[in-house]
Structure formats: structure tokens, C-alpha cells
Amino acid sequence: MRVLVTGAKGMLANALLPCLGNKHDVVGVDLADFDISQEAAVQKAFRDLRPEFVYHLAAYTDVDGCEANPTLAMQVNADGTANLASSCAKVGATMLYVSTDYVFDGSGQRPWLEDDNPNPLSVYGRSKLQGEKAVVSRSIPHFLVRSSWLYGPGGKNFVSTILKIAAERDDLRVVSDQRGSPTYTRHLALTLAQFIDCKSYGIYHVTGSGSCSWFEFTQAILKMAGFNHVRVAPISTQESARKAPRPAFSVLDNRRLTEIGLDLLPHWMEGLADYLKEGQRLGEFTLPDTGSGEKAIQSEVKES
């Protein structure tokens, strides 16, 4: 199948492209090829490439940046997605759009279901929700896949940021009143690649199994990585003073995935253990003591 992947230089695409390579005729495009918010450029690319399946991963993903630049956020995440969906309709392509847990307001007590009402708090969340609506309104065969808290090789992410700070400081302060599911891009990518053979279109929640707060995530990162001397203190969202509001509880219920015969993703701690090994191998970060880090990784994974 002829497959187009947008956002090809991004973190998730870094994991997805190797999963598609051998089986399909895959073209990855990014901002240097064309700007998705430019309708004529998108139409030209579709005329040239005639994709049958489009993985739409490109987005303005800096959540605080979107809050400061709402026009750009809407142009890229909402209008850009609308342009791609319209072009999919013209060439008869199926679209898989990767969306986010930030479409929910986080006020619930139980994991969010696909049919729960979105009510985004931030510009980023609103722009991604507008993108979802644009896909649905084009009446094309589509998958909306909402994921959360991505980390993996090839992009700035929470894990690599914590490891960088831990190498420079002995004290960290991390938010403890936001709960979600960290998701390893390699685990998510394996599942995304399976949607291409699936005809059960609709919305799916696909995240790492289990959940934690950013504070608990940080504790696990430091312990597995062997940063035993670094202390982490819990702080509130209010104390963190980030520009964009974030949902307090954005854990997504993944059960619908199993109803179409796909497996749940491994636990986020398993993903973390894999990423710590891979990130170190790729030189994305250096762990303090490989011996103790490796031991800690093994014991954490056994516990989970």
C-alpha cells in the first residue's frame, strides 16, 4: 500500500517509520517538504504521491508554545489537519490522525472512554480537537488515535529532560497532582502499524498500561537510571506556573482496542526500561553508573 506519514522527523514517526518500511511503499514528509497549513501545497503533494493510507502525525506539539501562539496552533493542528483530511477525501485515502489526552478536561475519576465528551483546557487541546472534528466531518474512512505523555528516541521528551536536569542538579520539583499514562513511542508505533490492516474505523485510546503522576514518573526514571542521590519533591500544578492549563486526570481507557483484537500496550515502566537502554545506546543521555542503573531497571520491571 502507498503510505504517507506526516511529521516524519518527529519523535513518534521515528518509531513508526521502521514498523512500516518493508511491507509498504512509505513516504515520510515534514515541514521542510511542505507546510500542512498551506492547502495548495497539501493538494499538490497528494496529487504527486496519491497515498492510500495517511498517518497524520505532524503537529505543533509544544503545549505552552501553543498557548502563547494560538493562531499558529490553530493553523497547524486544526487547519493543517483539515487540509490533509480534504485531500484524503479527494484521493480516497484512509486517515489515521494521532490526537491527545489533552482533549479532555481531566475532571473525572475514572479513565476516559472514547465517547466521553472532550472539553479541552488548553489551546493545544482545542486545536487538536478541532483537528479531530475536521477528520470526522470529511466522511473519510478514519482512525482517531488518542495517546498521551509520549517518550522515546528522536525527540525532546519528559524522560530525556529529567535525565538532563538530574545530571546537573541534586534537587528536582515535579508536579504530583496530574495523573496520566506515559507511553513509549516504540510500543505505540507497533500498534499504529496494525491499524493499516483494520477496517474497524473510529476513535481509539492507545496508551502505555498503568498510570502515574509526573512526580511518580520522575521517581521511577531516577531510580531506574541510577540517579540515587537526586531528590525529587512533589509540587502542585499551581506552583509549577506553566503557561498552559493541563488536565488533572487524563488516564485513557484502552479497552476498545482489545475489542478489535489488538493487544493492550505494555506497562509504562517496561517502556521506560527499554527507553533507558536505547536512549543510552543512541547517546541521547548518559546514565550515572551503567552497572547500578541496569540492576535498578531489572528490579523495577520485575516489580511492575
Ligand X SMILES: NC(=O)c1ccc[n+]([C@@H]2O[C@H](COP(=O)([O-])OP(=O)(O)OC[C@H]3O[C@@H](n4cnc5c(N)ncnc54)[C@H](OP(=O)(O)O)[C@@H]3O)[C@@H](O)[C@H]2O)c1
Which residues are near ligand X by CB under 6 A?
7, 9-12, 30-31, 35-37, 57-61, 76, 80, 98, 100, 128, 147-150, 155
Q: Which residues pair with 19 in a beta bridge?
A: none
**SS3 letters for 32-96?**
CCCCCCCHHHHHHHHHHHCCCEEEECCCCCCHHHHHHCHHHHHHHHHHHHHHHHHHHHHHCCEEE
**Closer Cβ to ligand X, 144 or 150, answer by number:** 150
Q: Which residues pair with 202 in a beta bridge?
A: 143
User: Is residue 276 a contact partner of residue 293, using CB atoms and an 8 Å limit?
Assistant: yes
Compute φ and ψ for 122, nearest 5 degrees: -115, 165
Q: Least separation, in Å, of the C-beta of 290 and ligand X?
A: 27
Shortest Å distance, C-beta 157 to ligand X? 7
Give me the least distance between CB of 74 and ligand X, in Å please.
Answer: 11
8 A C-beta contact, residue 42 and residue 87: yes
Residue 170 Cβ vs ligand X, minimum distance, rounded to whole Å: 27
Residue 13 vs 230, nearer CB to ligand X? 13
The strand pairing partners of 213, in sequence order, are: 179
For ligand X, the closer of residues 148 and 219 by Cβ is 148
The amino acid sitting at 219 is Q
Report whether 203 contacts 185 (CB < 8 A).
no
Alpha helices in 107-245 (DSSP H): 123-137, 158-168, 185-194, 214-225, 237-240
CB nearer to ligand X: pick between 57 and 273:
57
CB 228, min distance to ligand X, A: 27
**Please, which residue, 252 or 269, has the CB nearer to ligand X?**
252
Active site residues: 124
Minimum CB distance to ligand X, residue 287 (Å) = 22
Query: b/e for 3-19, b at 16 or more Cβ within 10 A?
Result: bbbbbbbbbbbbbbbeb
| Residues with Cβ within 8 Å of residue 84, at least 6 apart in sequence | 6, 36, 42, 54, 56, 95
CB-nearer residue toward ligand X: 74 or 269: 74
Report the residue number whose CB is nearest to ligand X: 10
